[in-house]
Amino acid sequence: MTETLFLGSGQHEVRELEGALGAELVAVPGGADHALDWSWSGPLESWRASVESGPKVDRVVVAPWGGAPVQAPLVELDLDAWLARSELALARWVAALGVAKVRCADGGAIVAVVDRPAPLDCAGWAPESGIADAVEALVRSLARSEGPRGVRVNAVTTPARLARRPVVDPPPPLASFPGTVGHDVLGAVRLLLSPDAAGLTGTVLHADGGRSW
Amino acid sequence: MATDPKVVLVTGASGGVGRGIAIACGQAGWTVWIAARREAQAAEVAAEVDAVGGSGRAIVCDVADVASVAQAVAAVVECDGRLDGVVHNATSGLSPRPTDLADVAFADVGDHVAVSLRGTYLLAVTAHPHLRATGGAYVVLTSEAGFEGKSRLPIYAAVKGAQRGVARSLAREWGPDGIRVNCIAPLASTPAMEQAFAHDPAMSARVLGRNPSGRLGDAVDDIGPVVRFLLSDDAAYVNGLTLMADGGACPIT
């Protein structure tokens, strides 16, 4: 049995995380066409059905990240940018977490890793703030539905790709803000996948140097 | 009661919570635009707003459609000369239908997203200049589901969470413009809630069993006034908040 399945993308931060975890990477499809009618979602739905038929695994990490977004006020985002950063992004999360639900064995663990600007720094990141909260809700939905079979479902958030200097005062408690995927996020993911986190489900760890409280 | 006169637009106001919001705003003497896809029902609610002392106006609006949202906002400004508040209440008709994340049809996901999330975006970008002109307010209807998830309604939970996140960013982006952005997470007796109970017979016990108030809220008397507060000058210093109007049911906020 493959122990860790990684539902991710070709983004280098994702590859770094996948490599450190020794996981098997399966890329969640993207898409260049973002029509309003969601006609682009057919291949994503087919991908989900195909990957769901694979073998069960003990651990699943989910991080279907797109390219690093550009900070911009919502009113300056045109419809195409909105569709790509919000609707397509959410569709990829829905597909990936659906696969995670099916592929994770009884007693296993699922961890979602999502970009999230800290609330103090979230101006200009409306789509990403929305996706982060959507993933939190999806994770908790799965924690509820899969808990009876012993599956734990948690999330790690990171501002690593979104933080810009200078930050809004006051400064973050840890000078290491915004943290790195290869160290800060990796540590949180390892914790949540491990037996040390046996009592944690539906939890969201903000790997952001204390910026979110 | 806040009595400062306002011109507000409420989406999905042809029934349920949206109707309650519209009537509560009408009780303050406000002009309330009932924006909904169902023209006849919207007109009925507009008449109810008139009956309680406000001015009700019905307009057909599909919040997922760029042109439709633009037309609705333009109609408000053309007719009344201003726009003080927007309430995005409309939600997908699929909201109460149970789904499984592993096999939910993406056409259904798209419907949830288009109404709740795209609607939030379209109303924001369209209404922004008018709300800036009046120092207005934008209120987005989210749900406890957006905080804590729902095992049988994961897509509904996801879009409700997403709306809260978008609103959080908007509050910071629009604060310098004098516009406030808040959310409300209501728990009310509505046709959608009744449908959800019908789909899941155990849901009623789950929903009411943890509610210290022991009842569902009333859309007109319990939820509408809370939204009216967020729209009013009484809430001039309230920004970036998700206000729970759920009788104390949701354990996290």
Q: Residue A31: what pLDDT?
A: 72
pLDDT of residue B1: 52
Residue A1 has pLDDT above 90, yes or no: no
Structure letter (DSSP) for residue A59: E
The answer as to whether B128 is a domain residue is yes
Tens-place pLDDT, residues B6-58: 999 999 999 999 999 999 999 999 999 999 999 999 999 999 999 999 999 99
Residues of A in contact with B145 (CB under 8 A): 137
Q: How many domains does chain B have?
A: 1
User: In chain B, whose CA is at the least distance from the CA of A83?
Assistant: B118
Contacts of B166 in chain A (CB under 8 A): 74, 126-127, 129-130
- CATH code for position A102: 3.40.50.720
> Does residue A45 belong to the interface with chain B, where contact is any CB pair within 8 Å?
yes
A213 domain-assigned: no
Assess contact for A195 and A153: CB atoms under 8 A.
no
- Residues 6 or more apart whose CB falls under 8 angstroms from that of A52 comprise A98, A99, A102, A103, B102
User: Is A167 within the bounds of a domain?
Assistant: yes
In a domain, B251, yes or no: no
Domain of B90? 7-245
B208 burial level (CB within 10 Å; 0-12, 13-18, 19+): middle
Give the number of domains in chain A. 1
Domain-located, residue A104:
yes
Per-residue confidence band for B127, with pLDDT thresholds at 50, 70 and 90: very high
For residue B86, give the CATH number of its domain. 3.40.50.720
Which amino acid is located at B30 in the chain?
A: W
- Contact: A75, B124; criterion CB under 8 Å: yes
* Residue A177 forms contact with B (CB below 8 Å): no
Percent of chain A with pLDDT over 70: 99
Q: What count of other Cβ atoms lies within 10 Å of the Cβ of residue A32?
A: 7
Mean pLDDT for all residues in chain B? 95
A212 within domain boundaries: no
Which residues span the domain enclosing A199? 4-206
Mean pLDDT of B71-77: 98
Q: Is residue A73 part of a domain?
A: yes
Q: CA B154, CA B105: separation in Å to the nearest integer?
A: 13
A129-178 pLDDT, tens digit per residue, is 999 999 999 999 999 999 999 999 999 999 999 998 888 889 999 999 99
Chain A positions touching B119 (Cβ under 8 A) are none
What mean pLDDT do residues A14-24 have? 95
- Give pLDDT tens digits for A60-71: 999 999 998 999
Residue B103 has pLDDT above 70, yes or no: yes
For chain A, the average pLDDT equals 95
> Interface pTM (ipTM) of the complex?
0.97
For the stretch A96-109, pLDDT in tens is: 999 999 999 999 99
